[in-house]
Amino acid sequence: MQARATGPTIDDVFHALGDPTRRAIVERLSQRPESMSDLAAPFDMSLAAVGQHVQVLERSGLVRTEKIGRTRTCEINPLGMALARQWLEARRRLWETRFDRLADFLGENEDGAD
């Protein structure tokens, strides 16, 4: 039955980044990959809880994991970050072109043009 054939959505990404613990995990993994236990150690919560956060991050394309033997290693997945960045950039383009049009409008009605 192959659920979740499609990749992560923008909603997945921003929902994942909305939680401070998950952002902290992303920050740590931005520096180096880590095992589940090492990753969980500094947090004031159970290993299981951190595991759940990692699952959310994985589904959102922000983290990639691989299990070797009995340890699972987690590392950053650029895909999720790219999705987030693209969304922000797209919005920025929109309101910047709005400002440009405003500037054009002000510009052509200024001075002795025409």
Partner DNA sequence: ATAATACTGAAGTTCAGGCTTTAGTATTCC
Partner DNA sequence: GGAATACTAAAGCCTGAACTTCAGTATTAT
Determine the length of the chain: 114
Q: Provide the binding-site residues for its own copies, judged by CB under 8 A.
A: 10-11, 14-15, 17-20, 23, 26-27, 29-32, 76, 78, 81, 84-85, 87-88, 91-92, 94-95, 98
Question: For residues 57 and 65, is the Cβ–Cβ distance under 8 A?
Answer: no
Question: What does 23 interact with, of its own copies, DNA, none (CB < 5 to 8 A by kind)?
Answer: its own copies
Q: Which of 29, 27, 21 is nearest to 73 (CA)?
A: 29
27 lines the binding site for DNA (CB under 7 A):
no
For residue 26, count other CB atoms closer than 10 A to its CB: 19
- Residue 48, contacted partner among DNA, its own copies, none, CB below 5-8 A by kind: DNA
47 touches DNA by CB under 7 A: yes
Give me the amino acid identity at 39: L
Exposure letters 80-105 (e unless 16+ CB within 10 A, then b): bbebbeeeeeeeeeeeeeeeeeeeee
CB of 25 to its own copies, least distance (A): 11
Determine which residue in the list 9, 27, 45, 101 makes contact with DNA, applying CB under 7 A. Answer: 45
* Number of amino acids touching DNA (CB under 7 A): 24
Query: Which position among 23, 28, 51, 64 is part of the footprint of DNA (CB under 7 A)?
Result: 51
CA separation for the pair 86, 37 (Å, rounded): 32
